[in-house]
Structure 1
């Protein structure tokens, strides 16, 4: 294991952490026993204590068992940030099943892949998303959908601005296989004995690769526990910490930093369903928020509010995140306003959030940070696998207790994702970077073909596959183009089918908006007579990508 980062290690923290040998659900059970009256979640004015949270988890887990969910079954969790997401997540674990968190921006066609791949029979769903999952009810394995209205968990007297999804009244849904959330909670079914252990599968977040179809990352209770515990210690969290949850819970960073880690420590989560900078500032001031993990664009948006100086943000102890490099000017503004440096980190779905975080007392700008507890990270030559030295650019590879077990039902892709070094198995991240003399890691490029739009990962091959459903498209090649707000955004180079009805770029974009998640939709469509091809007939997407950056004058992305 490389030791360059030892000199930068946070003061007072051990290099090794012994992790609990229990299930993730047990963290909630213990916190509820220790701190029953402690606020677990504050949601638009309503406080849910740890005792109340645990009671609802037990009740919903009992209903899942009643529906036939057994140990190892996969259950879709398809909703936005809300207390119901937390209740649903831990109820699935309590029932010894596996959480499949689904991006709420996904549409029916995309959901079909998750169902076919996981054979999930049950889905927990926000009511605003029900129309996307309803056509699939009764297909594949899906037999039951439990639907919830976020409004049921707010304080109706709140003075906070409510997102439309939260303000909406409960829908009356009458269909076989559909159960109202409150009825499921009130049904009174007992969940039985909890038997899942550290090596059982716990969470199956989906990632994608250049082959297009999203693939499930198999995480055990042990691997999820690792970054949950790591984060609590690295950020010096205590039972009195208050975390503002603005990152989506379906994503591993939000899931770990703003849900699982606070629950492990018995602290309080102040939860937002949708990002709103003024609401966030009011919540920080009102609830004396201490920790805020976000994506860079959220921090930039908060600081760009002309009235930000009106709010007392002095309770904040750390502000951390990633998704894109924090601009130096914005970092300096954050320092002037709060006295805090933005702590950037680095991780992937395959590593259940962070493998690298900047030390709280010695962060570097536009830097991934240093390897956290028990993580071994190195830089290797992409072609030979040989380890490289300080300042040499190569692929970042890592191993540690948070590493996934492999891709669900994809043994070949699992095998290709690892490399052996010094007798140990390392995960190939697909990201190019280098390490400096002090052991800090920096990213410079990506081996994998991926677009990073405001922290959302967009996989061109997946977007292309969906675009081929348009009758006027013969070929499509998706690339990224610079965007002043999102950093990168999606562009499609399209060859139209002969004899197709006339179509405009705007019409294709509108079609995409109805077919795929909003963050995947091309913001620009360029018609071409042909796409460049290699001697073997493969589309040369890299040539199109390089030409796009040359034409924009922005240069290749860092």
Structure 2
């Protein structure tokens, strides 16, 4: 067991955490009984109590079970942006002991068809703006029934801030075979049978992003979900009095656990945003006295660039943190100057249902994954020999704990390759290269697959990006390997300039880089963009830029 970090463990906090043997839907029922009239969701001016949320969950669950024949273990696709309907659908699927398959609302026809076929889903629930992408799949994939929701049903009009187009859009009526309108499903007033689910039953099948091949479904149980949602609550000293800003996409495990399932377990309030908008986020933080905001670093970079931002507007915040990508040091310092809060980074994967590492609130380190969470055993090993490495040595993170998934859906060989026996225990191979310091804090170096080999030198793009973020003109950066006839690969940086950086040249960036990093790491090619491609979870799509670069050479 890795214990180096125990010396710096938060005082008065147990190093072990018993995981409930109840189910995720039990959490909502318990909270409804405790706080029936407390606001569960705020959605563009509309407030929904826990009692209302629970009632609508059961109505939808009754329809899924009694009218559409959804039963225990069936996979149901949830294809929707952040909204009350996403939350209602999520818990309704669980209420009938089925398995949620949350997919990115940015996916298009062919991708959606792949998920439906791969998980053999006969029923899906989608936002109306996504119907053109999923309706063609009815009858051509296992999909037979599609429940469609309009976000405007739960939003107010005449607000003093702009709502996303998908929320403002007028409700549509669909009459095609196989399509059911959300309101019709609820008004049918069907009652579901009592749940038979157990904590070890499969309940969620989120898919990996597919950056190393075809997306794979990660099999998670109620217990693996309970592990990270409860761990996040206890670690962050959260309480039912908290008001959280839900900006991360709920289909993604971090948003799912920290912006939805965790608050519901507690009875806290979720202020839900369908799409990220820094001006709206600022208004909501001030209006609803937001106390906690779990996000991704790209949101923080954008938020802090808002010229309307003031200290008074964000004084209610008590915790800001997230994961997905390290927060640049310069941005972290700016955040601290504004709020007095240190950004609390964490680290996890789809396979671990969010965090396996988090920074202690009282002693966080910037650009740091944090320390292993409750009952997590994490090691750094040589990726080839699996020999365990010591402090400051770079190797692959392997991990074991209650939150680790049960394998990839219908992929026994890939499941077998994802695990390794180490000291008599089964560890998951993360594919991430990291190191840890003398105090047991872990630091990401990069993905195994992302390393640039420039004239034999190993260049980790994340390290170069972190340095580029220190440049006063850089708002965001993404580094890839560009084919080079002499070096094999050379370092190329895609950069979005901030308002102060207009007019900055490629030559200036390269000259500055030479003063701040080793010569072999310096980007030889700079390309300015208006924006970087982003995934639905807010991660920069480096692979997309990499593939475009390789295509240019071939073409």
TM-score class normalised by the smaller sequence:
0.7 to 0.9
- C-alpha distance in 1, partners of 2:10/2:80? 36
For the 8 Å contact 1:242–1:290, the answer to whether it is kept is: yes
Q: Secondary structure at the match of 2:54?
A: helix
TM superposition shift of 1:211: 5.6
For the 8 Å contact 1:105–1:518, the answer to whether it is kept is: no
- C-alpha distance in 1, partners of 2:261/2:227? 11
Q: Secondary structure at the match of 2:148?
A: strand
When structure 1 is superposed on structure 2, of 362-371 and 521-530 the one drifting more is 521-530
Cα deviation digits, residues 475-531 of structure 1 (max 9, x gap) = xxx9995332499xxxxxxxxxxxxxxxxxxxxxxxxx9xxx996755945656759
Cα deviation digits, residues 401-452 of structure 1 (max 9, x gap) = 1000000000100010011111101100000111111010001121135999
Q: Is structure 2 residue 349 aligned with structure 1 residue 348? A: yes
Q: Is structure 2 residue 3 aligned with structure 1 residue 3? A: yes
Q: Secondary structure at the match of 2:388?
A: coil
For the 8 Å contact 2:22–2:199, the answer to whether it is kept is: yes
For the 8 Å contact 1:37–1:50, the answer to whether it is kept is: yes
- C-alpha distance in 1, partners of 2:267/2:14? 22
Report what 1:162 is aligned to.
163
Q: Secondary structure at the match of 1:312?
A: helix
Q: Is structure 2 residue 116 aligned with structure 1 residue 105? A: no
Q: Is structure 2 residue 334 aligned with structure 1 residue 328? A: no
- C-alpha distance in 1, partners of 2:337/2:85? 37
Report what 1:178 is aligned to.
179
Equivalent runs, 1:403-482 vs 2, <5 Å: 403-449=404-450, 482=493
Q: Secondary structure at the match of 1:207?
A: coil
Q: Pick the aligned partner of 2:495 from 474, 484, 488.
A: 484
Q: Is structure 2 residue 280 aligned with structure 1 residue 279? A: yes
Pair 1:428–1:406, CA change in 2 (3 A): same
The count of residues paired between Structure 1 and Structure 2 equals 482
- C-alpha distance in 2, partners of 1:111/1:237? 36
Cα deviation digits, residues 280-332 of structure 1 (max 9, x gap) = 01111111111101111101111111110175211111100122221111111
Q: Is structure 2 residue 52 aligned with structure 1 residue 71? A: no
Q: Is structure 2 residue 117 aligned with structure 1 residue 116? A: yes
- C-alpha distance in 1, partners of 2:426/2:9? 24
- C-alpha distance in 2, partners of 1:432/1:406? 21
Q: Secondary structure at the match of 1:448?
A: helix
Equivalent runs, 1:461-540 vs 2, <5 Å: 482-485=493-496, 522=545, 524=548
Pair 1:428–1:518, CA change in 2 (3 A): closer
Q: Secondary structure at the match of 1:194?
A: coil
- C-alpha distance in 1, partners of 2:156/2:97? 32
Report what 1:50 is aligned to.
50
For the 8 Å contact 1:209–1:448, the answer to whether it is kept is: no
For the 8 Å contact 2:311–2:338, the answer to whether it is kept is: no
For the 8 Å contact 1:210–1:448, the answer to whether it is kept is: no
Pair 1:218–1:334, CA change in 2 (3 A): same
When structure 1 is superposed on structure 2, of 8-17 and 130-139 the one drifting more is 8-17
When structure 1 is superposed on structure 2, of 368-377 and 303-312 the one drifting more is 303-312
For the 8 Å contact 1:44–1:160, the answer to whether it is kept is: no
- C-alpha distance in 2, partners of 1:422/1:263? 37
For the 8 Å contact 1:281–1:311, the answer to whether it is kept is: no
Report what 2:360 is aligned to.
359
Equivalent runs, 1:179-218 vs 2, <5 Å: 179-208=180-209, 212-218=213-219
Cα deviation digits, residues 74-133 of structure 1 (max 9, x gap) = 000000000100000000000100000000000000011101111100110000001000
- C-alpha distance in 2, partners of 1:295/1:479? 28
Report what 1:490 is aligned to.
none
- C-alpha distance in 2, partners of 1:165/1:126? 9
Report what 1:397 is aligned to.
398
When structure 1 is superposed on structure 2, of 306-315 and 107-116 the one drifting more is 306-315
Pair 1:426–1:529, CA change in 2 (3 A): closer
Report what 1:34 is aligned to.
34
Q: Secondary structure at the match of 1:197?
A: coil
Cα deviation digits, residues 206-248 of structure 1 (max 9, x gap) = 0155662111000000001110101111111111001100000
CA RMSD of aligned residues (A): 2.5
Cα deviation digits, residues 115-155 of structure 1 (max 9, x gap) = 11111001100000010001101122110000000010012
Give me the TM-score of the superposition, normalised by structure 1: 0.83
For the 8 Å contact 2:206–2:219, the answer to whether it is kept is: yes
Cα deviation digits, residues 229-286 of structure 1 (max 9, x gap) = 0111111111100110000011101010100000000100000001111110111111
Q: Is structure 2 residue 3 aligned with structure 1 residue 15? A: no
Q: Is structure 2 residue 236 aligned with structure 1 residue 235? A: yes
Q: Secondary structure at the match of 2:42?
A: strand
Give me the TM-score of the superposition, normalised by structure 2: 0.83
Q: Is structure 2 residue 386 aligned with structure 1 residue 385? A: yes
Q: Secondary structure at the match of 1:341?
A: coil
Equivalent runs, 1:301-320 vs 2, <5 Å: 301-309=302-310, 311-320=312-321
For the 8 Å contact 2:393–2:436, the answer to whether it is kept is: yes
- C-alpha distance in 1, partners of 2:88/2:321? 25
For the 8 Å contact 2:371–2:441, the answer to whether it is kept is: yes
Cα deviation digits, residues 446-483 of structure 1 (max 9, x gap) = 113599999xxx9x9xxxxxxxxxxxxxxxxx999533
- C-alpha distance in 2, partners of 1:413/1:141? 24
Q: Secondary structure at the match of 1:26?
A: helix
For the 8 Å contact 2:78–2:126, the answer to whether it is kept is: yes
TM superposition shift of 1:389: 1.0
- C-alpha distance in 1, partners of 2:107/2:145? 19
- C-alpha distance in 2, partners of 1:177/1:480? 51
TM superposition shift of 1:348: 0.2
- C-alpha distance in 1, partners of 2:326/2:553? 36
- C-alpha distance in 2, partners of 1:356/1:266? 25
